[in-house]
């Protein structure tokens, strides 16, 4: 059994291994940075640590309505080389996943999103895309 953090981007569910998430906080004040990629909102101070804040919906080209920043959440990533948080619109939740619920991503899936897919999780509410955090961060330049 493995535990993941599940969150929504538009109508699609995504997950990250709980081992990669330090905490979930209400999104703090974000300071925009000039010339940053469009999927970065900027940087924010979370408990005295400056984090780059990435909007995963924008990173994956997913269109969703804009919410006021104070109504969003940030998943603070626990990673030794990246100081980053992922901004999401709904409160994430934990899910225990049994081995028989996990399927490999389809071989044809090479688009911008699926190249970061570790696996698919079969769930009663539909499939959940389990993101491969190291693959996602490998291509990012962050603070």
pLDDT tens readout for residues 71-128: 789 999 988 877 899 998 889 999 999 999 999 877 665 565 667 888 999 999 899 9
Structure tokens at 112: 């911008």
pTM of the full predicted structure?
Answer: 0.86
Q: Which residues pair with 97 in a beta bridge?
A: 2
The residue ranges of every structural domain in the chain are 2-138
- Top CATH class of 2-138 equals mainly beta
Pick the closest to residue 39 from 58, 64, 25 (CA basis).
58
């Amino acid at each position: 059994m493995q535990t993941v953090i599940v969150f929504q981007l538009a109508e699609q569910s995504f997950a990250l291994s709980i081992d990669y998430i330090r905490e979930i906080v209400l999104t703090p004040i974000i300071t925009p940075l000039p010339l940053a990629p469009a999927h970065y909102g900027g940087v924010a101070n979370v408990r005295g640590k400056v984090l780059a804040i990435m909007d995963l919906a924008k990173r994956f080209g997913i269109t969703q309505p804009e919410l006021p920043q104070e109504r969003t959440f940030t998943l603070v990533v626990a990673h030794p080389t990246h100081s980053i948080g992922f901004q999401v619109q709904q409160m994430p939740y934990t899910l225990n996943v049994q081995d028989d619920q996990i399927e490999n991503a389809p071989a044809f899936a090479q688009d911008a999103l699926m190249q970061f897919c570790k696996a698919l999780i079969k769930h009663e509410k539909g499939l959940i895309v389990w993101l491969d955090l190291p693959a996602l961060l490998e291509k990012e330049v962050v603070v």
